[in-house]
Structure 1
Amino acid sequence: MQGLSKTRTELPEMLVLEILSKLPVKSLTRFRCVCKPWSSSFQTPHFIAKHQQNNLKNNNLNLLLKRCHGNTHDDIHYFSQLSTEKGQNFRVKHNIHLPFFKNCWYAPLVDGPCNGVLCLHDAGKAALWNPSTREFKILPQSTVQRPPAVDSTSFGCLGFGYDSQTDDYKVVRFVTNYFEENLDEGLMADWIEQVELYSLNSDSWKEIPVPGVHAYGSPLFNNYVNGFYYWQAVGDSDHLIVSFDMANEKFSTLPLPEFGGTLAQYYFQILDFNGLLGAIFYPREGTDKSFDLWVMNGSWTKQLSIESLPRVHRPLGFWKNDEMFLESSDDELVLFDPSTRELKNLDIHAYRETMQIIAYVESLVPINGRQEHEERIIRRPAGGESN
């Protein structure tokens, strides 16, 4: 048709970035090659925060399963990426092996996620990992001075979180220093506890004052909640919860819920439940388990009670619509729907008590590390492999 000219409409830059912020990290990684302005924009704090907010708003969760198929020091602990697509039944997409932790007993323990970043640690070794960007950062050795004449040092509880005031990611770690003193009656052991804090901004450790209680336990759930990290703890005469404020770097304590039992009868785990501090209790004995979830919102209130689930060993984590991942007494991953009380076997197995579920939102948060392939991290497609 004559008289018509071709026109080209360009979208405003802000609208383009708004659209791009809704895409998965894999797509954004490819689009960095389109032009330098896009690549630069993807690294700005505003775009990173917007991208994360969109994923949180749409509840776009990813799943990692940490597990092991054996029970000796040489057995390999690894991560499995599970499909979250509808109808995929949480099938294993690929398995991820981290050589940095291959000689560690628990290989490794996992804290987080915090804004899509995980902290992995075992026996004094620690690293940050963003599984979305595939960036991995090995933390430097601590330079905190140990007390004189220490015979040995062990690394205990660790916490990982975000300081929004300084835009910094921090790791807090409890260290126990042991001494042996020769007496006429024989050897006497003594110890001194220290707490050290790592800052990603400074890439260094420093010593901070210890709390007046003893923190213990390995997290099964995510213990980081809105700027605070929480541990199980014991004081002079009772059990309680100790928290660490990532911004002011101070410890504080709060009591356990009055859950109607004793810790000789019940296990309990701390967790983030929809942005609130939660505590889940379940009996130590028996194969028919019940679960009580308490939530702190000014005071402790019972949020959820699930009675008499057969052939269940322990809880592993919550999923969408308050569904729960559980470890069965047959060491299989199962999903429980509280609205129908249906237990769905997912045909994924591991050795007893090596499974840990990590649900995280994709994130572009940089951690100043190296790419997975540079650390020889291996991702193997799970096609044809046994779950």
Structure 2
Amino acid sequence: MTPIRTESPEKIKEPIAANAMANCVLHDDIMLCILARLPVKSILRFRSVCKPWCELFSTPHFVKMHHGQFSSDPKNQSFIICSKTAKFCTTASLLNIESNEKKPTIIDYPYPYINNRPKSIVGCYNGLICLNDCGITMWNPAMNLSKSIQLSNAYFGGFERVSLGFGYDAKGADFKVVRIVNFLEMSIAGVEVYSVNSDSWRTIEVDFQFRVLRTTCDVIVNGNPYWLAKSDHGEVLVCFDVTKLVFKIVSLSSLSLKEGGVTIG
């Protein structure tokens, strides 16, 4: 779905924006600035005003403008709370820490049940959330839209563990999903990267061996996913540069890594 694509502004279809502003008295740029300042609830309602407006709100340029407007507002400090019930159901709610509301707002979770198991969160960045369990899903909670990502046909032989990472390439304005396939104790069977813009997977060569400790990345910094891992260098933090498409090792001599967490030495 187009709302979760992140093409650069110069690739925007200008006729869509022009048609959306055809009957407006104000200049197109002024109207875009006004609409970009509307809260998400208003945007969702105004999508029903007319087809050109609905298409406008779905363009990568408008989504980027709207997210930039609200992410720069210090009073717009919100986070999503995901809860798992005893019946393997996942619910989600949105809480603004600057709001006077005592209860979080319930939002639609795209896949509360998958084969009696809830989807796990790989990571979130710039308003987009990557989910995983029996498949990968991109979820835009603000626009209440989601998109399933089909796995590639790449075959890496037998494997012991698969770990996913999520990141954002600011230079290419593109979200990326990293899939690491581990074989045996310290062997990489294969690595591939999915690009939201191209809607395709690409196999990545790795020039050193490591074993990630979890099925998802541990943290996302400046758009790059990081994993706690073990390698020939001992306990390390592995970073994937989503722009250059290369792995880097960060030494962590002061950390003791365990399967269940991290201990600071």
Query: What letter is aligned with 2:82?
Result: K
Matched, 1:11 2:26: yes
Match of 1:130 in 2: 140
1:64–1:79 Cα contact (<8 Å) kept: no
Superposition pairs of residues 131-210 of structure 1, within 5 angstroms: 131-147=141-157, 150=158, 153-177=159-183, 193-210=189-206
Match of 2:236 in 1: 240
- Identity level (%): 32
- Flag the structure with higher helix content: 2
Superposition pairs of residues 50-65 of structure 1, within 5 angstroms: 50-59=65-74, 60-65=76-81
Q: 1:174 to 1:263 in 2, by over 3 A?
A: closer
Match of 1:256 in 2: 252
Compute the TM-score of the two structures, normalised by the length of structure 2: 0.75
Query: What letter is aligned with 1:146?
Result: F
* Higher RCO structure, 1 or 2 (CA under 8 Å, sep 6+): 1
Instruction: Report the Cα offset of residue 207 of structure 1.
Output: 2.0
1:216 to 205, 213, 217: 213
Match of 1:121 in 2: 132
Q: Distance in 1 between matches of 2:25 and 2:253?
A: 58
Unmatched 5+ stretches in structure 2: 1-23
Structure 2 counterpart SS, 1:14: helix
1:140–1:203 Cα contact (<8 Å) kept: no
Match of 2:43 in 1: 28
* Higher Cα radius of gyration: 1
- Flag the structure with higher strand content: 1
1:76–1:102 Cα contact (<8 Å) kept: no
Q: Distance in 2 between matches of 1:235 and 1:76?
A: 35
Q: Distance in 1 between matches of 2:54 and 2:92?
A: 30
Structure 2 counterpart SS, 1:162: strand
Compute the TM-score of the two structures, normalised by the length of structure 1: 0.53
Match of 1:98 in 2: 111
Unmatched 5+ stretches in structure 1: 1-8, 179-188, 269-280, 284-387
Q: Distance in 1 between matches of 2:82 and 2:44?
A: 26
1:155–1:173 Cα contact (<8 Å) kept: no
Match of 2:121 in 1: 110
Aligned residues: CA RMSD: 3.2
Q: 1:176 to 1:234 in 2, by over 3 A?
A: closer
Q: Distance in 2 between matches of 1:161 and 1:50?
A: 20
Q: 1:76 to 1:32 in 2, by over 3 A?
A: same
Query: What letter is aligned with 1:235?
Result: S
Q: Distance in 2 between matches of 1:233 and 1:146?
A: 20
Matched, 1:86 2:99: yes
Instruction: Report the Cα offset of residue 41 of structure 1.
Output: 3.5
Q: How many residues align?
A: 238
2:217–2:226 Cα contact (<8 Å) kept: no
Cα deviation digits, residues 106-129 of structure 1 (max 9, x gap)? x2221221221111113x521111
Q: Distance in 1 between matches of 2:42 and 2:28?
A: 18
Structure 1 counterpart SS, 2:102: coil
1:112–1:224 Cα contact (<8 Å) kept: yes
Q: Distance in 2 between matches of 1:253 and 1:190?
A: 15
Match of 2:8 in 1: none
Q: Distance in 2 between matches of 1:45 and 1:96?
A: 22
Instruction: Report the Cα offset of residue 155 of structure 1.
Output: 4.6
Query: What letter is aligned with 1:11?
Result: L
